[in-house]
Amino acid sequence: MSKRDDLIAKYASDLKDKCGIEPDMDFLTKVTIGCGPSIYNKDSASVAGSDKKELETVKNNFLIKKLGLEDGPELDDAIASVLETYGKSNPNKQRAVVYYLLAKHFKKESVYS
């Protein structure tokens, strides 16, 4: 297996074990590929849920630019909801898993088609 395949398996495990969600593996693969090389860097591969600057980056670069959503309080609410689902006490929130959950939340899977 490639390094990316190993990471996708890890993300699928997080979705099952930490979020209680059965992952759509094709979609998870597309989201992971969409994250680019950031998944291979320890710092950029995860989302710091308590860092306001990091959460602004998720909102601006992913929700607004990538998914094409309008800025508003519902974006912050969705991020908070996803982080709650992933587990507030979990220090290792993988970026691909957070993006997967957000894209599913907003029903924006078509962005990856």
The tens place of each residue's pLDDT in the chain, 113 residues long, gives 799 999 999 999 999 999 999 999 999 999 999 999 999 999 999 999 999 999 999 999 999 999 999 999 999 999 999 999 999 888 889 999 999 999 999 999 999 98
CATH of the domain at 55: 1.10.238.120
Domain tally for the chain? 1
Could you tell me the CA-to-CA distances from 14 to 40, 53, 67, 84, 105 in Å, in that order? 17, 24, 23, 14, 17
The boundaries of the domain holding residue 104 are 3-112
Interhelix angle for 95-105 vs 3-17, to 10°? 60
Q: Is 71 exposed, middle or buried (0-12, 13-18, 19+ CB in 10 A)?
A: exposed
